[in-house]
Amino acid sequence: MTTFNERLADLRTDIVAQGDRVLDITLRAVESYFDGDRAKAAAVIALDEEIDRVDVEIERASIPLLAMGVTDEKSIRSVLTIVKVNNELERVADCAVDIAEAVLSDVALPARIPDVFRVMANSVIGMLRDSNRALADGNTSLAQQVLLFDDTVASFKKQLMKTAQEQVAAGTLPVDYAFRLLTITKSIERVADHCTNICEQVIYLHAGLIVRHRPEGWSKPLPPSP
């Protein structure tokens, strides 16, 4: 008979593999935009079907574990973390699909994509890669580093939007392309948000501490309220 720990180990393997899949299609989506590669964008949309299938499998496999009668807090947190991270990864994949669909639109690319967008997109890909590593290794220090980078991504977005507005006003950036750039930028920002959610779960799982975001920025993990 399969034990709780064996089934949990299998689920951990599955969620790490799902993270790798999501990282792959997110990277492909960003590259399809950089390169104006419609074939790569179409591949992203096709690959999302596998991510959706695994998403359902992981959720279905998680529920029975909670009915096996385990009572220690770490074991329960482990299952709940997998369920929550699974949901975040599926949403990251949705963002990748949104980017790919924008690439497949009829709006022609300008001669040069803004440099700040490239920096922002590459930074968020790095956040997603580190989030996966933090999850796989139980690395709370790396998870905290990802959280600290979230404000930088917000700063990139603000700078990019300001630049796009100035270029539209000057007539050097087509309005329809500016709208698509805004759509893709929002998708990239949402990926960063999901990365921070994943890292919050990693910290809670391994340290039992709650990470809270405040208006002034990221704060150190706090212990649960009594």
Q: What is the pLDDT of residues 197-215, one digit of tens each?
A: 999 999 988 877 766 554 4
pLDDT confidence of residue 215: 43
Tally the domains of the chain.
1
Whether the CB-CB separation of 142 and 130 falls below 8 Å is answered with: yes
Examine residue 223 and state whether it is found in any structural domain, yes or no. Answer: no
Q: Which residues of the chain have pLDDT under 70?
A: 1, 106-112, 210-226
The structure tokens listed for 57 are 């499998």
Domain span including residue 175:
4-218
Examine residue 226 and state whether it is found in any structural domain, yes or no. Answer: no
Q: Which amino acid is at 58?
A: I
Examine residue 139 and state whether it is found in any structural domain, yes or no. Answer: yes
**Cα–Cα distance measured from residue 42 to residue 157, given in angstroms and rounded to the nearest whole number:** 26
Half-sphere exposure of 69 (CA within 13 A, CB side): 1
Whether the CB-CB separation of 126 and 76 falls below 8 Å is answered with: no
Examine residue 57 and state whether it is found in any structural domain, yes or no. Answer: yes
Examine residue 199 and state whether it is found in any structural domain, yes or no. Answer: yes
Q: What angle do CA 54, 22, 182 make, to 5 degrees?
A: 130
Examine residue 224 and state whether it is found in any structural domain, yes or no. Answer: no
pLDDT confidence of residue 70: 80
pLDDT confidence of residue 207: 78
Examine residue 127 and state whether it is found in any structural domain, yes or no. Answer: yes
pLDDT confidence of residue 216: 45
pLDDT confidence of residue 1: 53
The structure tokens listed for 119 are 């920096």
For the domain that residue 182 is a member of, what is the CATH number?
1.20.58.220
Examine residue 151 and state whether it is found in any structural domain, yes or no. Answer: yes
